[in-house]
Amino acid sequence: MTVEPMTKNNIKALYSESIRDMEVYIMFRIAKRVVELTPELNAKNRPPIRLSMGAPVVDPPKGLINKLKEAVDQPGVHTYSTPKGEKFFRDAVVQRMKTRFGVDVNADKEVCSLIGSKEGLANMFRALISYRTNPAEQDVIMIPDPGYASYADAIKICGGYPYAIKLTPENQYKPEFEDLLADMRKEGITPDRVKAMVLNYPSNPIGATAGMDYYEKAVAFCKQHNILLISDIAYADVYFPGEEAPHSVLEVPGAKDITIEFHSLSKPYGTTGWRIGFSFSSVDLAKKMSAFQSHTTSNPSSPAQEAALEAYTDRERAQAEVARMVEAFRRRRDLVTSLFAEVVPDLPYVKPNGAFYLFFRVDSLFREGMADSGAVCTWLLEEAEIAMVPGVAFGDDRYVRMS
Ligand code: PLP
């Protein structure tokens, strides 16, 4: 038997089905396209306006930057950190949990450090889902729709089935949970296939927020049906004046039995590239999360953990820094909405209560040759030099997201 030599083409047969057609994450594809177009646009004196990536362009607080610089000069920080996070880091995030949300967490047993909450979410999905290709047999994870673009892809990579929880103006972006189960049953999905439900408030891309009453219902629902509640509160500190401060699901008594909550330094401090986040959960789950991480990534860097310490130990200063960031986001939100009112008063959009996005409808612009949100974004970038993200990436092709 002759064996074909390995080539660019037949190596693809080695790939697992889940990555065979995988492309780079949409935000990085758009960023690359912007870089490609930049010289041409600069030459026309029309530099691109980058409103695509979910990363603040406001600089991180000086205190954090200085702490990161200092940390790099300390002995012992250049090696692998411990899987669940350095002790000083766990103590700092536990302190934040107490002062910001009034929740007690055990620093040694219920915390896991993460290379951003995205890593934690991806690890969690891998830990829950058994790889299957038949949609009728796949483990189901319920995710918000529209929702963070990464959820569905990260679930599909694991051979799971992302079930869209429709967030609509009619249900005020907070659907009734039992209705969801009834809808799923109609599609042949039984509750025993549902492993987890993801909630994300304040939400990406619509900036919706949720109150304690909704979290109480979510916890009761998940307990009743033995579903893990995955709460993603990456934007917990990004909410606008007049809004109630977003809650943690762990404020609900008994929630920890059935909840893992992901937190991140990325968004309120403009430190997306530092890659530092953390989760709180039951002892058993926290152990599993850090065990998993110890096999896959060998944990976040110690200097990033030191910077987090700076963010969380002096609450007053941290609050002032975050308030400065949020004020910049509010000014921009209000500027955009007032321009919308002036220039395109009929264009529907969701006014965000939190996070830093504006999700607006563009289907009235659809025509031959520009029939979906992707085509609208290409047009916006090539003709108006503005980079934004097609709504289809978040589950709704009628919209475009501006960051
Ligand atoms: N969760 C949501 C809702 C997000 O929008 C993002 C990033 O855009 C993340 C999590 C991941 O953030 P990070 O990995 O930087 O903590």
Q: Which of 112, 204, 278 to mutate to test the pocket of ligand 1 (most atoms within 8 A of CB)?
A: 204
**The ligand 1 atom nearest the CA atom of 117:** 16
Measured from CB, residues less than 6 Å from any atom of ligand 1 are: 54, 116-118, 148, 200, 204, 232, 234, 264, 266, 272, 277
Q: Does pLDDT of 316 surpass 90?
A: no
| pLDDT tens-digit series, residues 337-358 | 999 999 999 999 999 999 999 9
Question: Which residue's CA is the nearest one to ligand 1's atom 9?
Answer: 118
Instruction: Compute the distance from residue 121 Cα to the ligand 1 centre, in Å.
Output: 9
Give the list of residues 6+ apart from residue 138 with CB closer than 8 angstroms, or none. Answer: 129, 132, 159, 160, 161, 193
Mean pLDDT of 358-376: 96
The widest CA-to-CA distance across the chain, in whole angstroms, is 74
Q: What 3-state DSSP class applies to 367?
A: strand
Rounded to two decimals, the pTM is 0.95
pLDDT value, residue 1: 63
Query: What is the per-residue pLDDT across 238-285, written as a single tens digit (0 to 9) for each?
Result: 999 888 999 999 999 999 999 999 999 999 999 999 999 999 999 999
Rounded to whole angstroms, how far apart are CA atoms 183 and 131? 24
Residue 176 Cα to ligand 1 midpoint, Å, equals 25
172-188 mean pLDDT: 94
**Residue 267 alpha carbon, nearest atom of ligand 1:** 15
Q: Which of 118, 165, 279, 403 to mutate to test the pocket of ligand 1 (most atoms within 8 A of CB)?
A: 118
Could you count the other beta carbons within 10 Å of the beta carbon of residue 391?
Answer: 25
Q: Residue 5: is its pLDDT beyond 90? A: no
Please check the confidence at residue 9 and state whether its pLDDT lies above 80. no
**Beta strand spans in 19-64 (E):** 49-50
pLDDT in tens, 44-76: 999 999 999 998 888 888 889 999 999 999 988
* Separation of CA 169 and ligand 1 centre (Å): 23
Question: Is 206 within 8 Å of 146 (Cβ atoms)?
Answer: yes
Pairing of strands 194-199, 161-166: unpaired
When the pLDDT of each residue in the chain is averaged and rounded to a whole number, the result is 94
Determine the Cα–Cα distance for residues 289 and 123; give it in Å rounded to an integer: 7
Mutate to test the pocket of ligand 1, among 112, 148, 151, 403 (most ligand atoms within 8 A of CB): 148
Residue 96 scores a pLDDT above 80: yes
Decide if pLDDT at 361 tops 80. Answer: yes
CA pair distance 317, 310, nearest whole angstrom: 9
Strand partners, 142: 163, 197
Looking at the CA of residue 276, tell me the nearest atom of ligand 1: 16
Distance CA 105, CA 89 (A): 13
State the pLDDT confidence band at 6, using cuts at 50, 70 and 90.
Answer: confident
Per DSSP, helices labelled H in 79-235 are: 87-101, 116-128, 149-157, 177-186, 212-225
Quick check: 183 pLDDT over 80? yes
